[in-house]
């Protein structure tokens, strides 16, 4: 028998997957239960504040996974540009592999009016993006970038990653990833430290 906490975790993962595929409003508890195989009675036991709570935990899980991915990729990167290339490369692969069927796990909380109705959802969206931007900026600093420039570049990368998840999905083409990567790499090159051989 799976432990009760497994069911909870499966529900968060199922919610995240469905929100990435069809957004917040079109994701019903019943769909989450079906996908996760969790028992119906477990919903309000695990998520007493209902769907908003589940969606917020899914968005936080999505951000946390992105941070862990960035941490892993940063281990292999020698420059900010290499980290950006690896991160957008993963996003590109994932988008193509999903048949252009999956977007961001946070964005729907921002775009579907839920944040206007429920302040905690707005705060979750703000926090999730901030966590990703701060993690990326820290890696850029370790890789030699000056702190303010690193934060600006990190904002641009997270913003670009959001944009490609919409435009690439709409066009059913990876081309927007390549176009955005070129712009971000140029920006990364521009902040390369003097030690890299640039003036």
Contact set with its own copies (CB under 8 A): 21-23, 25-26, 101, 103-104, 106-108, 110-113, 115-116, 122, 125-126, 128-130, 152-153, 155-156, 158-164, 166-172, 175-176, 178-180, 182-184, 186-187, 190
Q: Which is closer to its own copies, CB of 142 or CB of 183?
A: 183
Q: Which is closer to its own copies, CB of 12 or CB of 84?
A: 84
Quote the CA–CA distance of 72 and 88 in Å, as a whole number: 14
Q: Which of 117, 110, 121 is nearest to 53 (CA)?
A: 121
Q: Which is closer to its own copies, CB of 126 or CB of 147?
A: 126
Closest CB 160 distance from its own copies, rounded Å: 5
Quote the CA–CA distance of 136 and 138 in Å, as a whole number: 5
**Tokens read off for 110:** 């921002």
Quote the CA–CA distance of 157 and 178 in Å, as a whole number: 13
Closest CB 6 distance from its own copies, rounded Å: 27
Closest CB 79 distance from its own copies, rounded Å: 16
Residue 37 CB burial class (10 angstroms; 0-12, 13-18, ≥19)? exposed
Closest CB 82 distance from its own copies, rounded Å: 17
Q: Which is closer to its own copies, CB of 7 or CB of 33?
A: 33
Torsion, CA 148, CA 151, CA 153, CA 155, rounded to 10:
-140
**Tokens read off for 82:** 């290499």
Q: Which is closer to its own copies, CB of 12 or CB of 121?
A: 121
Closest CB 76 distance from its own copies, rounded Å: 23
What count of residues does the chain have?
Answer: 199
Closest CB 175 distance from its own copies, rounded Å: 6
Question: HSE (CB half, 13 Å, CA atoms) of 112?
Answer: 18
């Amino acid at each position: 028998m799976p432990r009760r906490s497994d069911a909870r975790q499966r529900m968060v993962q199922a919610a995240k997957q469905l929100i990435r595929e069809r957004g917040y409003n079109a994701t019903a508890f019943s769909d989450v239960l079906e996908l996760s195989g969790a028992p119906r009675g477990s919903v309000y036991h695990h998520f007493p504040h209902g769907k908003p709570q589940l969606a917020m935990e899914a968005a936080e899980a999505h951000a946390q996974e992105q941070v862990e991915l960035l941490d892993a990729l940063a281990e292999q990167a020698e420059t900010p540009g290499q980290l950006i290339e690896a991160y957008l490369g993963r996003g590109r692969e994932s988008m193509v592999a999903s048949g252009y069927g999956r977007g961001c796990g946070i964005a729907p909380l921002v775009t579907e009016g839920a944040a206007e109705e429920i302040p905690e959802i707005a705060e979750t969206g703000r926090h999730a993006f901030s966590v990703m931007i701060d993690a990326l900026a820290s890696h850029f600093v370790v890789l030699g970038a000056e702190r303010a420039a690193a934060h600006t570049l990190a904002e641009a990368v997270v913003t670009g990653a959001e944009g490609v998840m919409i435009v690439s999905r709409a066009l059913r083409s990876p081309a927007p990833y390549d176009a955005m990567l070129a712009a971000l790499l140029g920006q990364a090159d521009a902040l390369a430290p003097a030690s890299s051989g640039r003036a």
